Chains A and B, each alone.
Chain A
Amino acid sequence: MNAVQTFKLTKEFDGLVAVNGIDLEIKKGELFSLLGPNGAGKTTTIRMLCCLLKPTRGTASILGYDVAKTPFAVKKLIGVSPQDTILSERLNCWENMALIGKVHGLSSNEVRKRSQELLETMGLMERAKDQVRKFSGGMKRRLSITMALVSDPQVLFLDEPTLGLDPQARRTIWEYIAGLKGKKTVLLTTHYMEEADFLSDRIGIIDEGRVVALGTSQELKTNLFGMRNMVVSTESLTAEVIADLHSKYSRVAVTKGQLKISHKDLDFKEIVNHLHSRGVTVYSAALEQPTLEDVFIEITGKKLRD
């Protein structure tokens, strides 16, 4: 049985198709990322899986329980960190944790033990007795994620867990999430490709409500498209040469003294020879592995972020 299984999962809002027939299979213990730009339908997907939104069409189940038919069975199994950090502002960390833990049916003792562990790992112990309205954005987010874990859920949903955080806070959260690998099933959404790249076992690239590509980071970058990048340090590039390159290769980008060419099954030698024959000086040239950003651009023709 899969931890998360969806079949043609669809959500429409007054004619706007936010999620358009998504099929997902996430295995137990897998860390799966939905990577996509703003408005792609990530949050809507998560909200359907958490029983907050009724699918317009299609089905979804968590560990075999249908989200529309048996929401309370599903809710017992999941932990959710919503996209917006939502805490009880006048409660302290312990109290926020206890609220979620106890509505999940944990005893006071269990809640205390779990909270102690989690607050320590997340570095919140020092301020654990302060009302959280005085916390910084990063601390709130860490607590919000911690709250999703207090009930020791089998399936964890993290909607943009590091949205708007500084690099250091992001690092802390990444390390924690990476530590969950293999122990918990995690479905994470993000529009940061580094995040998906760094954390995930598998990635689903989502755009305009559809999963447009699915696989491990490596599969997406290499096998699936065979797309490769080449970066060339040059001088004396003429407009004519550039136009010529554009006509031959999928993507050509020129920045100061640097030429970046992306193409399927790109031939390193051929390009270097071609440039030489046109009288272009090549200082250095290197092959570069494509990023998920490249994958996204290749599939959708758009950038992940502007």
Chain B
Amino acid sequence: MKFWEIGKRNLKEIYRNPVLLGFLLGMPVAFMLVFVAAAGGGQAGPIALSIADEDGSQKSSLFVQYLGIVGAIELNEPIYSEKSQAQEDLENGRISFYLFIPSGFEQAQQTQQTINLELVYMAADPMIGLQLKPMIEAAGSEFLGVAPLLNVELKGTESRIKNMAVNFYFPGIAVYGLMILISTAAGIIAGDREKGFLSRMFTTPARPWDFILGYSLPFIPVLIVSTLIYLGVGMALGLTIVGNLGYAFLIFFLIGLCAIGIGMIVGSLVKSESQAGVAWIFIVPMAMISGAWFTVDRMPSALKSVAGALPFIHGIDASRAVINGSPFSAIILDIYWLIGWAVVLFAVGIALFRRTMVS
């Protein structure tokens, strides 16, 4: 239980230091407020059109393809075959709106009758519907020729999501906030190395894992509290978690563990607290390619695979999925990935730390 003694010491050094404690716990709050204020009700994610095609005919799928060619419209995959599925996803905030093509589309076209489509959108965000309606009507007229008439009916629907922007940005902000633990954890190890405290401890029988666990331990309460703060402040600002809150917590916890693990590695590689600043060389690019700040849909595929190998994109994807109400089965792979990373990171941390115990 040597790690426990080292952990207790580190915990005391942190929570008896009001400045450090204030930084660790105040940062999540400040972070959420600033990000939400900056993103404030702005466009949530890409404007992409989802389609529910109940007609399922050759004609209707050609029409869908045609819509995809229109410059201002981007199609969401996959195309729903039932309206109820699209409606459920809309209500849970997974999509913002969809175009419903009822069965009888092909027939109506052949018999030159008026075609009625529905553009269903989230009532909280009516602007998109108004923007899209004329575009779809124009595209429809081009596709179908002069007749028959195409009529797009706008239908607002209530969603459980209070604030799309908060829901979209939240996972990225929280994950980025937790990534800052990399620099804090590395800084504390490096500081103790610089002050000679580690040297003194290296004359005791404590082993490398005692140190790595001992330095990670105080960050566990910090991680738990900051995750709760992120979730709490997020909800106060309009975050709606449709899925299981516990899963969301689990994902953020695992992300935090990975961040602490990277912090242990950086802390084992650098010699002083100021050198621990190199942690940011990891944090910023990782945050960028993991989609913490903006969507990574259009990122080059090579970068995408790098991001996919790293833990953070899995945290962001999985937490977004939980927020949108996906079941546990949808995030299980991400969770395995995160656990695997945490194990590897800590093992590497211990190996690197061991090398610093004698020079």
**Which residues of B lie under 8 Å from residue A50 when comparing CB positions?**
202-203
Q: Which residue of A lies closest to B195 (CB)?
A: A86
Complex CA distance for A41 and B17, rounded to whole angstroms: 37
B125 close to A (CB within 8 Å) = no
A264 close to B (CB within 8 Å) = no
Instruction: Pick the most buried of B17, B202, B203: most chain A CB atoms within 10 A of its CB.
Output: B203
A54 close to B (CB within 8 Å) = yes
Q: Which of B199-240 contact A (CB under 8 A)?
A: 199-207, 210
Complex CA distance for A286 and B9, rounded to whole angstroms: 59
Produce 1/0 per residue, A128-164, CB < 8 A to B. 0001000000000000000000010000000000000
Complex CA distance for A90 and B191, rounded to whole angstroms: 14
Contact A52 B204 (CB under 8 A): no
**Which residues of B lie under 8 Å from residue A102 when comparing CB positions?**
1-2, 5
**Which residues of A lie under 8 Å from residue B204 when comparing CB positions?**
75, 100, 103-104, 151
**Which residues of B lie under 8 Å from residue A131 when comparing CB positions?**
16
Complex CA distance for A75 and B200, rounded to whole angstroms: 11
Chain B: interface size category = 20 to 34
Contact B358 A88 (CB under 8 A): no
Q: Which of B80-128 contact A (CB under 8 A)?
A: none
- A86 touching B205 in the complex, CB below 8 Å, given contacts A51-B358, A71-B358, A131-B16: no
Q: For the complex formed, measure the closest distance between the CB of B77 and the CB atoms of chain A, giving whole angstroms.
A: 55
B153 close to A (CB within 8 Å) = no
Produce 1/0 per residue, A96-118, CB < 8 A to B. 00111011110000000000000
B23 close to A (CB within 8 Å) = no
Q: Which of B39-75 contact A (CB under 8 A)?
A: none
Contact A88 B199 (CB under 8 A): no
Instruction: Pick the most buried of A52, A72, A82, A103: most chain B CB atoms within 10 A of its CB.
Output: A103
Q: Which residue of A lies closest to B202 (CB)?
A: A52
Q: Which residue of B lies closest to A73 (CB)?
A: B205
**Which residues of A lie under 8 Å from residue B17 when comparing CB positions?**
90
Complex CA distance for A1 and B205, rounded to whole angstroms: 22
Q: For the complex formed, measure the closest distance between the CB of B40 and the CB atoms of chain A, giving whole angstroms.
A: 40
- A91 touching B358 in the complex, CB below 8 Å, given contacts A80-B203, A103-B205, A103-B210: no
**Which residues of A lie under 8 Å from residue B202 when comparing CB positions?**
50-52
Contact B6 A103 (CB under 8 A): yes
Contact B207 A72 (CB under 8 A): yes
- A91 touching B203 in the complex, CB below 8 Å, given contacts A86-B195, A102-B2: no
8 pairs of A and B residues whose beta carbons are closest in the complex: A80-B203, A90-B16, A102-B5, A103-B204, A75-B205, A50-B203, A86-B196, A86-B200
Q: Can you list 26 contacts pairing A with B, beta carbon distance less than 8 Å?
A: A50-B203, A51-B358, A52-B203, A52-B358, A53-B358, A53-B359, A54-B359, A71-B358, A75-B205, A82-B200, A86-B195, A86-B197, A90-B16, A95-B9, A99-B5, A99-B6, A99-B8, A100-B204, A102-B1, A102-B2, A103-B6, A103-B206, A103-B210, A104-B204, A105-B205, A151-B204
Q: Which chain B residues have a beta carbon within 8 Å of chain A's beta carbons?
A: 1-2, 5-6, 8-9, 12-13, 16-17, 195-197, 199-207, 210, 358-359
Taking A90-B16, A131-B16 as known contacts, 19 extra A-B pairs with beta carbons closer than 8 A to each other, sorted by chain A number, are: A50-B202, A51-B202, A51-B203, A52-B199, A53-B359, A72-B207, A75-B204, A78-B203, A80-B203, A82-B199, A86-B196, A86-B197, A91-B12, A95-B12, A102-B1, A102-B2, A103-B201, A105-B205, A151-B204
